Amino acid sequence: MKTIIEPFRIKSVEPIRMTTRAEREAYLREAGFNPFLIHARHVLIDLLTDSGTGAMSSEQWAGVMRADESYAGAESFFRFHHVMHEIAGFDHILPTHQGRASERILFEIIGGSDLVVPSNAHFDTTRANIEHSGATAIDLPIPEATDPRTRHPFKGNMNIAALEELIERIGPERIPVVMLTVTNNSGGGQPVSLENIRAVRKVCDRRGLRFFLDACRFAENAWFIKQREAKQHERPVRAIVREMFDLADGATISAKKDGLVNIGGVLLFRDRALFQKASNLLILTEGYVTYGGLAGRDLEAMAQGFNEVVEEDYLGYRIRSTEYLGEKLLAAGIQIVEPPGGHAIYIDAKAFCPHIPVEQFPGQALVCGLYRAGGIRSCEIGSVMFGGAGRPAPKMELVRLAIPRRVYTQSHIDYVIEAAIEVHKQRAEMRGLRIVEAPQVLRHFTARFEEV
Ligand code: F0G
């Protein structure tokens, strides 16, 4: 069969509320043209993020009821530990409340002033935690990554020559870890090839460096490897996932993505001494080592979620439904970051509304347009997010349509496509924005705008 269907039945439903265009206009103005400030009940299709917004399975909910809430040594912890060990192969496993908690602990231990942490592309919380420790975060993507139109099967790859050049220039002693984000979220949800992960490992071995994965979307990355990389097609996803982790010395994970849970994170180590330092910090601020700031039921849900996310029927459907959205937008003349990513489609806002200059935030204007047209909430990834405070404008002005896992059906996605096409047809009427109020850092969350 050609049709790829949702590989699940729906057992529990949650109503979403339709709004009129006039209501949405009022909500948008009340929120200062910033959808982060709109009440979720006024959103019809919420594509703000794929993080913590997924639907849990009946087995995960059953685990929630079965959970052991003991303070220390809970059975739920050992179930979680067993699953994580099977999937990733690490012996030293800490649960945390979400990805950035893992990052905060890791960089408190290995970060520090005068140090430099290279990556294919750091996510903003990773960058912020690295900088908070006094170190500098550097992105080393391949050149293809910054052109939305270039089709490269592994656009998330790290530029290996640039990594070697950096090590040569500043010296390995200033690099506490080399990181790879799989898939590369900031770069369009694009995957990293196994060949590239192996190449980073080789460089790290040669220069005596640590290598960690930011593995939030490890299963989606492995699926792309299976589909696109030579000699990987016949391998089970679980084997590819295992090789990805086997190549690393550790990993930070936000389980809110491929853990298929609403809250949770993981910190993995090969090295026992580092693990012990991290355990002490975890106890100081998160909780005891067998729960890490979570409830036993969260550990149960994660254990089951990590097992479900590597199921190939699920991954086939997941990646295909994102690709379907991307293909339909492209066919309608809407430029996206090509090829479609794993967890999201990124619309090229500069191409969408060329009449709006970068200083008037074309991405934010498009975000407002999608909300007005269809009650769809999306997220600007461009000058609003990365600009301000004297920083240079980013290379791309993007709008991310992030797809929550197992939440929306194909008809929801068809609706999103229809709304986007309607906005595109009337794009000449879209207006730019100016900021009227914004904090110094992470301004995209709370800034208020007015139309120019
Ligand atoms: N690393 C990556 C690649 C991420 O995408 C995220 C979160 C984190 C780390 C931090 O994890 O939120 O659990 O603390 N990304 C979300 C997003 C917020 O919308 O892309 P967290």
Q: Say how many Å lie between the CA of residue 99 and the centre of ligand 1.
A: 6
For the segment 342-346, the average pLDDT, to the nearest whole number, is: 97
Average the pLDDT over each of 5-9, 73-77, 84-88, 185-189 and give the range with the smallest value.
185-189
Q: Say how many Å lie between the CA of residue 51 and the centre of ligand 1.
A: 7
- Band the pLDDT of 4: cuts 50, 70, 90: confident
Distance CA 326, CA 334 (A): 9
Distance CA 397, CA 364 (A): 9
Distance CA 345, CA 414 (A): 14
pLDDT at 45 (0 to 100): 98
Question: What does the pLDDT look like over 285-320, one tens digit per residue?
Answer: 999 999 999 999 999 999 999 999 999 999 999 999
Question: What does the pLDDT look like over 367-379, one tens digit per residue?
Answer: 999 999 999 999 9
Distance CA 374, CA 23 (A): 11
Question: What does the pLDDT look like over 20-48, one tens digit per residue?
Answer: 999 999 999 999 999 999 999 999 999 99
Tell me if 128 sits within 8 A of 104, measured CB to CB: no
- Band the pLDDT of 390: cuts 50, 70, 90: confident
Q: Say how many Å lie between the CA of residue 255 and the centre of ligand 1.
A: 9
* Cβ-based burial of 186 (10 A; exposed 0-12, middle 13-18, buried ≥19): buried
Q: Say how many Å lie between the CA of residue 97 and the centre of ligand 1.
A: 12
- Asked whether 119 lines ligand 1 (CB < 6 A), one says no
pLDDT at 82 (0 to 100): 98
Q: Give the pTM.
A: 0.96
- Asked whether 49 lines ligand 1 (CB < 6 A), one says yes
pLDDT at 449 (0 to 100): 97
Q: Residue 274: pLDDT above 90?
A: yes
Averaged pLDDT score across all residues of the chain: 96
Question: What does the pLDDT look like over 215-267, one tens digit per residue?
Answer: 999 999 999 999 999 999 999 999 999 999 999 999 999 999 999 999 999 99
- Closest C-alpha to ligand 1, atom 8: 99
Q: Residue 3: pLDDT above 90?
A: no
Which SS3 state, helix, strand or coil, does residue 230 take? coil
Neighbours of 36 (CB within 10 A): 15
pLDDT at 187 (0 to 100): 81
Q: Residue 142: pLDDT above 90?
A: yes
Distance CA 192, CA 318 (A): 18
Q: Say how many Å lie between the CA of residue 266 and the centre of ligand 1.
A: 12
- Of ligand 1's listed atoms, the one at least distance from the Cα of 52 is 13
Q: Residue 389: pLDDT above 90?
A: no
pLDDT at 439 (0 to 100): 87
Domains of the chain listed by start with CATH number: 21-50+313-451 (3.90.1150.10), 58-308 (3.40.640.10)
- Of ligand 1's listed atoms, the one at least distance from the Cα of 217 is 3
Question: What does the pLDDT look like over 75-108, one tens digit per residue?
Answer: 999 999 999 999 999 999 999 999 999 999 999 9
Question: What does the pLDDT look like over 282-291, one tens digit per residue?
Answer: 999 999 999 9
* Residue % of the chain over a pLDDT of 70: 100
Strands (E), 126-283: 136-139, 178-181, 211-214, 250-254, 265-269
pLDDT at 102 (0 to 100): 98
- Asked whether 125 lines ligand 1 (CB < 6 A), one says yes
- Asked whether 214 lines ligand 1 (CB < 6 A), one says yes
- Band the pLDDT of 186: cuts 50, 70, 90: confident
- Of ligand 1's listed atoms, the one at least distance from the Cα of 48 is 19
Question: What does the pLDDT look like over 399-443, one tens digit per residue?
Answer: 999 999 999 999 999 999 999 999 999 999 999 999 999 988 778
Q: Say how many Å lie between the CA of residue 123 and the centre of ligand 1.
A: 7
- Give the torsion sign (CA, 331, 333, 337, 338): positive
